[in-house]
Structure 1
Amino acid sequence: MNRNRIASRLFAATFGVLGAAVVGASAQAASIPESPDPIILAINEWTGQHVTTHIAGEILTRMGYKVEYVTASYTPQFAAIQAGDISAALEIWEGTGSGEIFDKAVASGQAEDLGDLGLKEHQSFWYPLYVKEMCPGLPDWHALNKCAELFATPETSPKGRLVDYPLEWEGHNQDRLDALGINFVAVPAGSEGAIVTEIKSAAARKAPILAMFWTPHWLLQEVPGEFVDLPAYDARCYTDASWGTNPDKTYDCDWNRGWIKKLAWAGLKDKWPAAHNMLLHLTIDNDTQIKLIHEIDAEGKPVEEATKAWVDANEAVWKPWIQ
Structure 2
Amino acid sequence: MRTSGWTRAAALAGTAVLALTGCAVHIEPRLAAPGPPERTECGTLTIANLPWTGYEANVAVVSHLAENRLNCTVVVKDLTAEEAWAEVAAGTADVILENWGREALRKRYIDEERTVVEHGMTGNKGVVGWYVTPWLVEEYPDITNWKNLNKYAHLFRTPTSGGKGVLLNADPSYETNDPALIRNLKLDFVVSTTGSEEKLIEAFREAERNRRPAIGYFYTPQWFLAEVDLVHIKLPPYTPGCDADPEKVACDYQPYDLDKIANRRFAESGNPAAELIKNFQWTNTDQNQVARYLTIDKMSHNEAAKKWLDANPEVWQTWLPAD
TM-score, normalised relative to structure 1? 0.82
Separation in 2, partners of 1:222, 1:269: 38
Structure 1 match to 2:315: 317
Shift of 1:282: 0.5
Q: For residues 47-87 of structure 1, what are the alpha-carbon distances to aligned partners after superposition, in whole Å with 9 as ceiling and x for unaligned?
A: 10011122111111121211111111111211111110000
Answer yes or no: is the 8 Å Cα contact 1:32–1:65 preserved in 2: no
Structure 2 match to 1:89: 96
Structure 2 match to 1:224: 229
Q: Which of 35, 42, 45 is the aligned partner of 2:48?
A: 42
Structure 1 residues 244-259: aligned runs within 5 Å: 250-259=248-257
Among the aligned pairs, what percent are the same residue?
24
Answer yes or no: is the 8 Å Cα contact 1:162–1:187 preserved in 2: yes
Q: For residues 191-242 of structure 1, what are the alpha-carbon distances to aligned partners after superposition, in whole Å with 9 as ceiling and x for unaligned?
A: 000001101111110111101111111211211231000011234333348x
Q: Are 2:109 and 1:102 equivalent residues in the alignment?
A: no
Judged with a 3 Å threshold, the aligned counterparts in structure 2 of structure 1 residues 272 and 72 are, in CA distance, closer, same or farther, namely farther
Structure 1 residues 118-129: aligned runs within 5 Å: 118-129=123-134
Q: For residues 245-293 of structure 1, what are the alpha-carbon distances to aligned partners after superposition, in whole Å with 9 as ceiling and x for unaligned?
A: xxxx512111111221100111113434322211111002111111111
Task: Report which of the two structures shows the higher radius of gyration computed on alpha carbons.
Answer: 2
Structure 1 match to 2:41: 33
Structure 2 match to 1:53: 59
Separation in 2, partners of 1:173, 1:54: 31
Where 1:267 maps in the other structure, the secondary structure is helix
Moved more, 126-135 or 74-83: 126-135
Structure 1 residues 174-185: aligned runs within 5 Å: 174-185=179-190
| Aligned pairs, number | 282
Answer yes or no: is the 8 Å Cα contact 1:117–1:260 preserved in 2: yes
Where 2:143 maps in the other structure, the secondary structure is coil
Separation in 2, partners of 1:202, 1:281: 40
Q: Are 2:125 and 1:117 equivalent residues in the alignment?
A: no
Separation in 1, partners of 2:81, 2:301: 20
Q: Are 2:162 and 1:160 equivalent residues in the alignment?
A: no
Separation in 2, partners of 1:276, 1:128: 41
1:152 maps to a residue whose letter is R
Structure 1 match to 2:279: 281
Q: Which structure has more helix as a fraction of its residues?
A: 1
Separation in 2, partners of 1:135, 1:174: 24
Separation in 2, partners of 1:53, 1:133: 38
Answer yes or no: is the 8 Å Cα contact 1:165–1:171 preserved in 2: no
Specify every segment of 5 or more residues in structure 2 that has no aligned partner in the other structure, as ranges.
Answer: 1-37
Q: What is the Cα-based RMSD across aligned positions, in Å?
A: 1.8
Answer yes or no: is the 8 Å Cα contact 1:148–1:158 preserved in 2: no
Q: Which of 198, 211, 218 is the aligned partner of 1:213?
A: 218
Separation in 1, partners of 2:140, 2:116: 47
Structure 2 match to 1:74: 81
TM-score, normalised relative to structure 2? 0.82
Shift of 1:168: 1.1
Q: Are 2:298 and 1:290 equivalent residues in the alignment?
A: no
Shift of 1:163: 0.8
Answer yes or no: is the 8 Å Cα contact 1:117–1:283 preserved in 2: yes
Moved more, 119-128 or 230-239: 230-239
Shift of 1:32: 5.3
Structure 1 match to 2:269: 271
Separation in 2, partners of 1:278, 1:222: 32
Separation in 2, partners of 1:69, 1:116: 21
Separation in 2, partners of 1:236, 1:93: 16
Where 2:242 maps in the other structure, the secondary structure is helix
Shift of 1:134: 3.7
2:116 maps to a residue whose letter is A
